[in-house]
């Protein structure tokens, strides 16, 4: 009885407490924080609380919409709390007196065209991309000479557990692209490719395969328009330079049945364009929040059906509310049309996520087990 009364009083008073006065137990440091940093913190409502030290600033805020201006706490630091956010990974900047700065409490991620801060709001299903005591693959940073760009190209290659112990074994390869404003670090860092693949393989849910992640040259459109993007320079790097390099440097199964391509957002556009042009190179296609494929997109349907094993089309649920994308496309209907045409097409919607990395981690988790089945 006494306890119930205390609980009632606490519940009634809760809205009157400012965020930084709330019980510590309700707020947990974000996993995206720098080691040892308490803030940003997240509560059960998925509100994020920030702390910024800038004693002489006139105004402090964060780039999340609907966040009231920060206020100064008793310790002289500025505090502010967002409205509830979606589960998943969100880029942000701290605004100090009109300047947009990375939050010194956050680890740094490349997105929105810059290395800067982001916050990981815990997801109910975060276990699938958690680092666990399972056999681990390796994420390898490689450079490859690229005559077409007159530079040393940069990529990351995931090799599955046991790759070095089985020199007689050869592996299929997935080429996996980031989106516009991002780069080749994205899938290995915020994408958690290593953890997702290690966990899937440990659970026996997928064939082991290599994942190759390189820069999609998407950001060169920075000062132009997206529609001005030309696929040929990246297509040349990927098909003529990187794939031959990987097939030389790694023990790949270097043929069409054992090569897939997927990408998120603009990387999905790249995937669609390149795979439809290079049926002889890729046997599986994944578009993660990156458009869809209609039967009309396919020049020779019979050739496609003979060569393609999987088409995977997906969006975050917030991107297809009412079933349609903002551009008015209906990817579910497109997928059904592919299926009706005899193609092994799949449609997947990530629940309660938008155009961000939790959608794309789930896409990889769904797509990987469909690949390279005998």
Return the range that interacts with its own copies (CB under 8 A); candidates 102-110, 203-211, 277-285, 308-316. Answer: 102-110
Three-class HEC string of the chain = CHHHHHHHHHHHHHHHCCHHHCCHHHCEECCCECCCCCCCEECCCCCEEEEECCCCCCCEEECCCCCCCCEECCCCCEEEECCCCCCEEEEECEEECCEEECCCCECEEEECCEEEEEEEECCCCHHHHCCCCCCCCEEEEEEEEECCCCEEEEEEEEECCCHHHCCCCCECEEEEECCCCCCCCCCCCCCCHHHHHHHHHHCCCCCCCEEEEECCCHHHHCCCCHHHCCCHHHHHHHHHHHHHHHHHHCCECCCHHHEEEEEECHHHHHHHHHHHHCCCCCCEEEEECCCCCCHHHCCCHHHHHHHCCEEEEEEEHHHCHHHCCCCCCCHHHHHHHHHHCCCCEEEEEECCCCCCHHHHHHHHHHHHHHCCCC
**Which token pair is 153?**
């190209």
Selected binder of its own copies within 42, 49, 94, 176 (CB under 8 A): 94
Q: Of 194 and 292, which has the nearer Cβ to its own copies?
A: 194
Selected binder of its own copies within 21, 26, 45, 152 (CB under 8 A): 152
**65 sits near its own copies (criterion: CB under 8 A):** no
**227 sits near its own copies (criterion: CB under 8 A):** no
* Residue 330, burial from CB neighbour count under 10 angstroms (0-12, 13-18, 19+): middle
Minimum CB separation of residue 58 from its own copies in Å reads 6
**Count of residues of this chain found to bind its own copies when the rule CB under 8 A is applied:** 51
Return the range that interacts with its own copies (CB under 8 A); candidates 245-253, 282-290, 346-354, 363-371. Answer: 245-253
Return the range that interacts with its own copies (CB under 8 A); candidates 11-19, 113-121, 206-214, 278-286. Answer: 113-121
How far apart are the two ends of the chain, measured CA to CA in Å?
A: 64
Minimum CB separation of residue 169 from its own copies in Å reads 12
Selected binder of its own copies within 25, 55, 322, 328 (CB under 8 A): 55
Minimum CB separation of residue 227 from its own copies in Å reads 21
Q: Of 82 and 252, which has the nearer Cβ to its own copies?
A: 252
Selected binder of its own copies within 13, 35, 296, 306 (CB under 8 A): 35
Site for its own copies in 201-220 (CB under 8 A): 219
**107 sits near its own copies (criterion: CB under 8 A):** yes
Q: Of 4 and 165, which has the nearer Cβ to its own copies?
A: 165
**142 sits near its own copies (criterion: CB under 8 A):** yes
Q: Of 247 and 329, which has the nearer Cβ to its own copies?
A: 247
Minimum CB separation of residue 132 from its own copies in Å reads 8
Selected binder of its own copies within 29, 54, 273, 318 (CB under 8 A): 54
Using CB under 8 A, list all residues that contact its own copies.
34-36, 52-59, 93-94, 96-102, 104, 107-108, 113-116, 131-133, 136, 138-145, 152, 157, 164-165, 167, 188, 194, 219, 222, 249-251
């Amino acid at each position: 009885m006494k306890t119930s009364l205390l609980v009632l009083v606490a519940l009634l008073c809760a809205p009157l407490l400012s965020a930084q006065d709330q019980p510590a137990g309700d707020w947990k440091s974000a996993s995206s924080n720098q080691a040892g940093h308490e803030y940003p913190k997240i509560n059960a409502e998925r509100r994020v609380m920030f702390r910024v030290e800038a004693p002489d600033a006139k105004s402090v805020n964060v780039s999340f919409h609907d966040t009231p201006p920060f206020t100064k706490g008793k310790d002289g630091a500025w505090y502010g709390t967002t409205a509830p956010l979606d589960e998943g990974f969100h880029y942000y900047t701290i605004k100090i007196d009109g300047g947009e700065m990375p939050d010194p409490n956050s680890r740094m991620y490349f997105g929105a065209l810059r290395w800067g801060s982001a916050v990981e709001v815990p997801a109910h299903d975060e276990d699938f991309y958690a680092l666990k005591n399972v056999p681990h693959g390796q994420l390898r940073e490689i450079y490859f000479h690229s005559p077409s760009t007159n530079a040393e190209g940069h990529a990351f290659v995931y090799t599955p557990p046991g790759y070095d112990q089985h020199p007689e074994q050869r592996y299929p390869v997935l080429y996996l692209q980031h989106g516009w404003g991002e780069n080749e670090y994205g899938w290995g860092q915020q994408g958690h490719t290593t953890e997702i693949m290690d966990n899937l393989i440990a659970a026996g849910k997928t064939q082991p395969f290599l994942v190759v992640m390189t820069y999609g040259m998407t950001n060169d459109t920075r000062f132009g328009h997206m529609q001005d993007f030309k696929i040929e320079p990246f297509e040349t790097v990927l098909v003529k330079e990187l794939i031959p390099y990987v097939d030389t440097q790694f023990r790949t199964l270097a043929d069409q049945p054992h090569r897939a391509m997927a990408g998120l957002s603009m990387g999905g556009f790249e995937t669609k364009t390149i795979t439809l042009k290079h049926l002889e190179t890729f046997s599986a296609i994944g578009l993660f929040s990156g458009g869809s494929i209609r039967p009309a997109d396919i020049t020779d349907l019979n050739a496609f059906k003979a060569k393609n094993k999987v088409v995977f089309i997906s969006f975050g649920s917030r991107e297809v509310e009412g079933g349609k994308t903002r551009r008015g496309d209906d990817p579910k209907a497109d997928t059904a049309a592919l299926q009706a045409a005899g193609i092994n097409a799949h449609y997947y919607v990530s629940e309660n996520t938008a155009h961000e990395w939790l959608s794309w981690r789930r896409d990889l988790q769904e797509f990987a087990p469909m690949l390279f089945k005998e």
